[in-house]
Amino acid sequence: MGNIDEQIADIEAELAKTKYNKNTQHHIGKLKAKMARLKDDQEKRRAASSGGGKSYAVKKSGNATVALVGFPSVGKSTLLNKITDATSEVGRYEFTTLDVVPGIMDYQGAKVQILDLPGIIKDASKGKGRGREVIAAARSADLLILMVDVFRYDIDIIVRELYKAGMRINSKPVDIKIYKSFRGGLNVNHTVEMTKMDEEMVKNIMSSYGIINADIVLREDIDEDQLIDYLSGNKVYVDAIVVLNKIDLLPKEEVDKVIEALDGWNVFRMSAEKDLMIEQFKQEIFDICQFVRIFLKPQGQDADLIEPLVIKEDSTVGIVCDYLHRDFREKFRYARVWGPSAKFPGQRVSIGHVLKDEDVLSIVVRK
């Protein structure tokens, strides 16, 4: 048995030369599961051995975090400087941005943290071009902006690197339930027709993950990669849009062709340098983040209807407590809500109550 890198290389080579068909599919499923496990191990070892070194861990701040990801020189720093308070070095050379530069975009009462990440290049997920650290920062984002320009828009390369690093763009975790037991082997149940895997494949992959006695319920027609993602449990699901920059450098018809080539993506066109579509871009980010505005009403007083507190969709009263004061959660007695999330005006709610946009909220705490 060679080291992990060699084992992974061997499996990759075997997968590359094995054609997918009815006879080989089970073998391929097993190989993929084995490789996924080896890669998880490899990642753990790297994390353990790298100890110290330069960390890209950026402290989260603001109401949401958006990460700019893209090839060098597409205009990430230029955009960051336009929409936030940060000053990121804009350069004519590749790799001008060597550190993650956070900036805050202040828009309609919301503070959005925007991270300018060093350029992602091919094979970044294997550690070249400092890509792994970059990707680690990208993983903490609520939204990714995949930035390209009119001359270089091979978005697939970026998505592939992110995929290899465990990021799943614009997709949801699959709906699977596993009930482990002590005997009885593996029972595969499904509520929809399975067209991409048969029962044997599911069982093979589960046993490669050491699960030998369990009931599994599949509620979606998934393939083996999705099952492996689920079992490895370390994937990050994040939404992304594409920004096409430098539209000032081509005539409109040519820009339209680029957009056509980016078929299937939500593409936002702009010129960061020439200030085209910058205000609209801020609005777009704000809309995508789906912020919720809460008007606070101190007990026995009128609500402040001028300046809302901005929180994320699906936030609870507890989240508002955290914003207001570090003791509020502990001292919380009850809250009252007027507005969209209230069954009736002034409804008394608990700390887990989920708020909606334009609620008026009164929090009552112990003195």
Contact residues for ligand GDP, defined by CB under 6 A: 72-78, 90-92, 96-97, 119, 245-246, 248-249, 271-274
| Burial of 159 per CB tally in 10 Å (0-12, 13-18, 19+) | buried
Task: Give the containing element (helix H, strand E) for 262.
Answer: none
* Tokens (6 digits) for 244: 């096409």
Q: Of Mg ion, ligand GDP, none, which one sits near residue 241, judging by CB under 5 to 8 A according to partner kind?
A: none
By beta-carbon proximity to ligand GDP, the closer residue of 120 and 201 is: 120
Nearer to ligand GDP, 199 or 273 (CB): 273
Q: Which does 271 bind (CB under 5 to 8 A by kind): Mg ion, ligand GDP, none?
A: ligand GDP
Cβ closest to ligand GDP, residue 198 vs residue 273: 273
CB neighbourhood size of 175 (10 A)? 13
Between CA 104 and CA 59 the distance in angstroms is 12
In this complex, which beta carbon is closest to ligand GDP, that of residue 208 or of residue 271?
A: 271
* Residue 355 tokens, joined: 């708020």
Task: Report whether 352 contacts 344 (CB < 8 A).
Answer: no
Chain position carrying tokens 């069982």: 203
Give 69 or 310: the residue with its C-beta nearer to ligand GDP: 69
User: 73 vs 315, which CB is nearer to Mg ion?
Assistant: 73
Q: How far apart are CA 304 and CA 191, in angstroms?
A: 50
For residue 72, the partner it binds in Mg ion, ligand GDP, none, with Cβ less than 5 to 8 A by kind, is ligand GDP
As measured in angstroms, the least distance from the Cβ of 118 to ligand GDP is 8
> Closest distance between Mg ion and the C-beta of residue 77, in Å?
3
Decide which of ligand GDP, Mg ion, none touches 194; Cβ closer than 5 to 8 Å per partner kind.
none
What span, in angstroms and rounded, lies between the C-alpha atoms of 308 and 358? 8
Are 105 and 285 in contact by the 8 Å Cβ rule? The answer is: yes
Q: Minimal distance in Å, beta carbon 276 to ligand GDP?
A: 7
Q: Which amino acid is at 339?
A: G
Least distance CB 128 / ligand GDP (angstroms): 17
If the CB atoms of residues 69 and 231 are measured against Mg ion, the closer one turns out to be 69
- To the nearest whole angstrom, how small is the minimum distance from the Cβ of residue 235 to ligand GDP? 27
Of all residues in this chain, which one has the CB nearest to ligand GDP in the complex?
Answer: 75
**Residue 84 touches which of Mg ion, ligand GDP, none (CB < 5 to 8 A by kind)?**
none
75 binds, among Mg ion, ligand GDP, none (CB under 5 to 8 A by kind): ligand GDP
Write the CA distances from 312 to 85, 200, 262, integer angstroms.
22, 42, 30
Q: Shortest gap between Cβ of 259 and Mg ion (angstroms)? A: 24
Closest separation between CB of residue 254 and ligand GDP, Å?
A: 14
For residue 69, which of 19, 139, 2, 123 has the smallest C-alpha distance? 139
State the residues that interact with Mg ion by CB under 5 A.
76-77, 96-97
Pair 28, 80: CB distance under 8 Å: no
Measured at the CA of 226, the angle between CA 225 and CA 228, to 5 degrees, comes to 65
**Residue 162 has what DSSP assignment?**
H
